[in-house]
Each structure stands twice: as structure tokens, then as C-alpha cells.
Chains A and B, each alone.
Chain A
């Protein structure tokens, strides 16, 4: 049985906010099934007592002095905005029309 179905891919795509055509879903479902089959090899390793590594460095909080420094002027920060208005990013409506 496939590890991942076409319906699963459609659900994941909606979670990832990517519209997909039926053709894309078909191709991707087949490919992801093969890829998942290969990467599930990690499950062959006995690692119950092994701690996970999320990062190569033993990171702790990194602090610096709170010294004022120049930041981007608003024009520069907004220069690449698809639409800017009144020194703000103008976005499409974020609430459902009800």
C-alpha cells in the first residue's frame, strides 16, 4: 500500500498554502511515495535511547548589549512590497466574507 495517497498530498498542499492542479497532485503523490520509501530507512536504526540532534552547535541563548543602532528606513523596508500604503504593507482581506 502506498505510504502517501493523492488525498494526503492535497491536504498537505493546503496546509502548506500551495495550490496544485490535478496533474501536479498525481505526479507528486507517486514521487513522494518513492521518496518516503527511501527515507524511511532511518527507522531501521535502533535509536530508542539516543537523544535527538536539532543543531550542530550546543546552542544556548545568545545575548548582546542593547545598544541603539540605525535600522532600515521605512521607505527601504517597504520598497519591495507588492502594494504599500500609508507606510504599511497593504494585504488582501484576511477575514472570510460573511
Chain B
């Protein structure tokens, strides 16, 4: 079982901060770093299936520009895995859907431009549940991703390609998007760090829309500081996104470095415990809370009574918005077109294309959303869900009068087996129970590892903060990471993957 990693592969073990330092000091070149990661992807991604498309030429060209000194900064030369829901000029973008197979976007997302200017090297596009609808990647149109901790298990979803890439040492950084937990739940089940910034904190220009009032892109990494550095690069006002917040970016890097929770008031969400929570998840969570108290935080229990209704409200609001957003896949201007025999009407071509191009979960949600928005049902479903959304927001606002952050387990269980929930939509939806409230409210939230459950799989600790107080996540996350030495948990994955190569 001895791990066999050669010298250049050792570069893949470094976190983003360490890579950037070595590149800046010319100890290694950005090209060497990029090539080491591309080689590791070639060697291991057959097992993981984290990537849908690897852009070796683009990555090496960008790395050369970094080596030529064209870009500098704290992440210059650091490789990154980009969720395939972010559009990239000249590089295929599918959002995990067959309906977009082969689509080459004519423009870059704002965050792609910002990362390029920061010298970040995009290695390729990662797998995901189709249009980000799912919690396991099993609803990808291109096959599931496997969890590097256990290949029979899911790496979470929708951003399971990104979480597997980071946990499997295929990239030190990744971008995810989080509509109901798609950054945080994959982070939790892979032992990595994932952050959903404040809604509007990171531009959505060039993010393929699922549910526009909830979607938010954010950083994935192996350390809290690395996530903060990436957050800093992608955040900030963008004129091309009318929902982008025109306010200074919270000082997330400083917060991650301080990692100071003394005097901080931490509220444990009473509703997110008990039945349905795996014993090992609850135990690691409770220990982490005790650790924060030991570091000087003031811990209290807080009740957020309407959080119990968040899942129901979400599965009305998100499908409703999706049914409208996904109307754009009409087979007319881009993407798949099926059944255009010269005789069929546009409407018939649309219906045939959408039948062939959408997977079962996307169809389920479009139909559900169409129903919830129908005359006669609107008030009872969509309208009522929007009122519940107000009550959830008020729960947060009331809680944040008493405490600085709220905490809970990120997800009730560790990584589940591939196939276990895919035919039971409600069981799959329950995975996002604890992550959904922050999306409905719009506040930032993080998942940071807090140890391993009795089954040997990682457990995620969720921190939720008020709108535009993203820095608090990094203080708490940084403190826990230091106290629990969580980045070392991934040594196990590194050892396993070395064994597989020998």
C-alpha cells in the first residue's frame, strides 16, 4: 500500500498559498506546477471523473504568462478547477447538461476574467449535477463523480466535480456555485472548505442560471486561508450584474489570518440536531462547538423556528425560477436541436429537443415549478413559499441581534453511496436541509471540516453570518481549522491515491 508519488507530483500536495509562494520566489515555475497537476489529472481522474473537460493548452499558456511576469499577486500561478456552470470563451461549457453538449461560449464570466488577471491557471471544467440541480453529481448528463475518500460514494453535489478535484489533489482551488448548498455540502463530504459568499457579493455574469434569486458562486479549497484568497479575487461589484452589491469586499483574508474567535457570540441552531443526524456527525459537531468555547467564544443555543420550513419553501421557489430560466433552451439559438426535419414546427422541435436534452431531475423540477406558478395554485405554493422566505429572513435577523454567527452541521450525514438516493428525490433533497436557509436569506455561509465520523468519512461544520459579514466565517473557520488541524485529514486521500498508482 506504500504511496508512490514522484517529485513533481508532490507539487500537487501543496496548498494554494504554498504554490503561489514557490512560484513567486521562482523556486518552481507556474508551467511546472500546471504540468504536474495536468499529469495527476491524467493519472487519477479516470477514477474520480471530476473533470468534464481539461484545457491543457489554455492552462499552460496562462502559466507561461505568469512565468513571464505578466500577472502577480497572492494566487499567481495557482491551478484551479472551474465548475462547468461558469462560461468560458472558447472552452466548452455544458452545465452538466446534454442540451449544451459541445457549446463553446463566445464570452467569459466576470469571475473568469478576474481570475485570469490574478494569474490563476484554470485547468478545466468540473462535473456537476445538470444545471446544478442535485446533491450527488448523479444527475450529471455525463456520469457521476466519485468521492476520493471512497470511490463508491458521492462527492456531494451539485459541485461534486469541484470538491473531488480539490480533495483528490487535482487542484488546490476550485470554483463552485451554491443555490441550496452546492458548494457547502460537497465540501462537507470531501473534507474540504467551501464558501457561499453573501448573495450579490460575487458577480453572476456568466453563471448559467438555475434560480437567480439564490445562485451564488464561491471558493473551494483545502484551507480556510486559500478560500479567503480566492474569495478576495472573485468578489466585488460588477456593472454587468444588476444584482451585484456595490460595497467594499469584506476583509476575508485578514479574518482568515487572524482566526480569532475570542469574545465572538456563536449561536447553535436548535432546529438542526436530533433525529436524522448521524451520530458521528453530531459528535464531531458538538466537539467543534466546545472547541470554539475553549478558544473564548461565547456559545448559546438559538431557535430559528421557521428553518423547519426552509426545505419546503426552497423546493417551490427554486423550481419555479428554474422553470422560467430554463425556457431559454429552446433549440433556436444555441445548444441541441432535435427533430428539425424541415416539416416539424418550432414548437415540436422545442419539445423534442427538451425531451432529449434534459435529464430526469431537470424535467422533474421544471414540471414542479410550472405547477407552482400555475393560475389557481400560485398563492398556495409559490406565493406562500415567498412569505415563508420572509419569515426565515426574520429568523436570521432576530438571531443576529443575539449572536455574531450561527452554526450547525453542514449536512446530516457523511458521504452516501452512489445509487443510494438517486431514485428517491425527497431523500436526495433532505441532504440540503441545513444549507438552504442561508440561500433564502442571502447571507454568507461556510463549510469547514471538523473531523471524521465513526465511518472514517469527513464531517462538515457550517458557519452562517449576516449579509456582508463574510469575514466572520473566516474567523470561525480559521480558528477551527487551526485547533483541529483539519487539512491533515486529507493526508489519508493522498496516501490512498499514491497506493492506487503503484
Alpha-carbon separation in the docked complex, A28 to B199 (Å)? 33
Q: Are B106 and A18 in contact (CB under 8 A)?
A: no
Contact A50 to B383, CB < 8 A, known contacts A38-B426, A45-B309? no
Alpha-carbon separation in the docked complex, A8 to B385 (Å)? 22
Which residues of A sit under 8 angstroms from B346, Cβ to Cβ?
91-94
Alpha-carbon separation in the docked complex, A28 to B370 (Å)? 14
Q: Are B345 and A92 in contact (CB under 8 A)?
A: yes
Which residues of B sit under 8 angstroms from A2, Cβ to Cβ?
none
Contact A82 to B354, CB < 8 A, known contacts A9-B367, A50-B390, A77-B106? no
Alpha-carbon separation in the docked complex, A12 to B364 (Å)? 11
A83 nearest CB across to chain B (Å): 8
A20 nearest CB across to chain B (Å): 7
B48 nearest CB across to chain A (Å): 29
Contact A31 to B323, CB < 8 A, known contacts A15-B370, A42-B384, A91-B346? no
Alpha-carbon separation in the docked complex, A44 to B309 (Å)? 9
Which residues of B sit under 8 angstroms from A94, Cβ to Cβ?
345-347
Which residue of chain B has the shortest Cβ distance to A20 in the bound complex? Answer: B355
Alpha-carbon separation in the docked complex, A56 to B243 (Å)? 10
Contact A16 to B383, CB < 8 A, known contacts A51-B390, A56-B199, A80-B103? no
Q: Are A42 and B355 in contact (CB under 8 A)?
A: no
Task: Indicate if A1 sits at the interface (CB-CB under 8 A).
Answer: no
Which residues of B sit under 8 angstroms from A47, Cβ to Cβ?
384, 387-388, 390-391
Q: Are B106 and A45 in contact (CB under 8 A)?
A: no
A51 nearest CB across to chain B (Å): 6
Contact A43 to B350, CB < 8 A, known contacts A28-B363, A62-B242? no
Q: How large is the interface on A (under 10, 10 to 19, 20 to 34, 35 or more residues)?
A: 35 or more
Contact A52 to B390, CB < 8 A, known contacts A32-B364, A42-B316, A64-B239? yes
Which residues of B sit under 8 angstroms from A28, Cβ to Cβ?
363-364, 367
Q: Give 1 or 0 for each of B323-340: 1 = CB within 8 Å of chain A CB.
A: 100010011111111001
Alpha-carbon separation in the docked complex, A2 to B442 (Å)? 35
Task: Indicate if B104 sits at the interface (CB-CB under 8 A).
Answer: yes
Task: Indicate if A19 sits at the interface (CB-CB under 8 A).
Answer: yes
Contact A39 to B381, CB < 8 A, known contacts A53-B389, A54-B213, A92-B344? yes
Q: Are A13 and B367 in contact (CB under 8 A)?
A: yes
Which residues of A sit under 8 angstroms from B311, Cβ to Cβ?
38
Q: Are B384 and A43 in contact (CB under 8 A)?
A: yes
Alpha-carbon separation in the docked complex, A10 to B258 (Å)? 57
Alpha-carbon separation in the docked complex, A12 to B306 (Å)? 30
Secondary structure of the A contact surface, majority rule:
loop
Alpha-carbon separation in the docked complex, A35 to B424 (Å)? 10
Q: Are B467 and A56 in contact (CB under 8 A)?
A: yes
Alpha-carbon separation in the docked complex, A24 to B323 (Å)? 18
A20-50 residues with Cβ-Cβ distance < 8 A to B are 20, 24, 28, 31-32, 34-36, 38-45, 47, 50
Task: Indicate if A81 sits at the interface (CB-CB under 8 A).
Answer: yes
B229-247 residues with Cβ-Cβ distance < 8 A to A are 239, 242-243, 245
B382-416 residues with Cβ-Cβ distance < 8 A to A are 383-391, 393
Q: Are A52 and B333 in contact (CB under 8 A)?
A: no
Alpha-carbon separation in the docked complex, A92 to B314 (Å)? 37
Which residues of B sit under 8 angstroms from A36, Cβ to Cβ?
368, 371
Q: Are B358 and A18 in contact (CB under 8 A)?
A: yes
B459-475 residues with Cβ-Cβ distance < 8 A to A are 467
B98 nearest CB across to chain A (Å): 14
Task: Indicate if B349 sits at the interface (CB-CB under 8 A).
Answer: yes
- Partner of A89 from the list B242, B333, B374 (CB cut-off 8 Å) is B333
Which residues of B sit under 8 angstroms from A95, Cβ to Cβ?
345
Alpha-carbon separation in the docked complex, A31 to B428 (Å)? 13
Which residues of B sit under 8 angstroms from A51, Cβ to Cβ?
387, 390
Alpha-carbon separation in the docked complex, A34 to B429 (Å)? 12
Which residues of A sit under 8 angstroms from B306, Cβ to Cβ?
45
Q: List 20 A-B contacts (CB under 8 A).
A: A13-B363, A14-B351, A17-B347, A17-B351, A18-B363, A18-B366, A19-B352, A28-B364, A39-B313, A40-B381, A42-B384, A42-B388, A52-B387, A56-B393, A56-B442, A56-B467, A79-B104, A79-B106, A80-B334, A89-B332
Question: Given A19-B352, A62-B242, 9 more contacts at CB 8 Å?
Answer: A16-B366, A20-B363, A39-B312, A40-B312, A42-B385, A42-B388, A43-B380, A53-B393, A59-B243
Residues of chain A touching chain B, judged by Cβ–Cβ distance below 8 Å, are 4, 8-9, 12-20, 24, 28, 31-32, 34-36, 38-45, 47, 50-57, 59, 62, 64, 72, 76-77, 79-83, 89, 91-96
